[in-house]
């Protein structure tokens, strides 16, 4: 494990490399992926280093293959596995499925459905 001084030095060096990548034309998404950081944190660090970035917007617009995502979910894939495969967040995939009027399975998937007996009705 790094000492506090080493960790600080590593962060300074990482931030310097991020700024160089930005100035060389890399996108925030590419830089974030390369360094294993979120898009928002990457943008914040770049701004702290003096980079002039586009104004902060809500989210990052990306092209997702909506019909494929719907097919994957309807074929039994989990929201998280789809999010991982498409490099998107769980929330993005879930909102996309809801927008497409896809019925979201209960937490626990098929196991949760199998455990319920037909006469099980919630009692209040």
pLDDT tens digits for range 32-77: 889 998 888 898 899 899 988 776 655 555 688 999 999 999 999 9
Cα-Cα-Cα-Cα torsion 32, 38, 44, 46, nearest 10 degrees, comes to -10
- pLDDT band (50, 70, 90) for residue 88: confident
Whole-number pLDDT of residue 113: 58
What number is the average pLDDT over the span 25-31? 87
What does pTM read for this prediction?
A: 0.45
């Amino acid at each position: 494990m790094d000492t506090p001084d080493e960790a600080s030095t590593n962060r300074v060096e990482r931030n310097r490399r991020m700024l160089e990548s930005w100035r060389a034309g890399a996108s925030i998404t590419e830089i974030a992926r390369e360094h294993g950081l979120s898009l928002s944190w990457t943008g914040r660090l770049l701004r702290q280093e003096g980079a002039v970035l586009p104004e902060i917007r809500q989210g990052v617009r990306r092209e997702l293959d909506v019909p494929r995502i719907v097919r994957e979910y309807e074929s039994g894939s989990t929201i998280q596995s789809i999010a991982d495969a498409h490099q998107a967040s769980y929330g993005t995939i879930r909102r996309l499925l809801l927008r497409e009027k896809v019925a979201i399975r209960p937490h626990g998937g098929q196991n949760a459905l199998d455990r319920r007996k037909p006469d099980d009705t919630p009692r209040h």
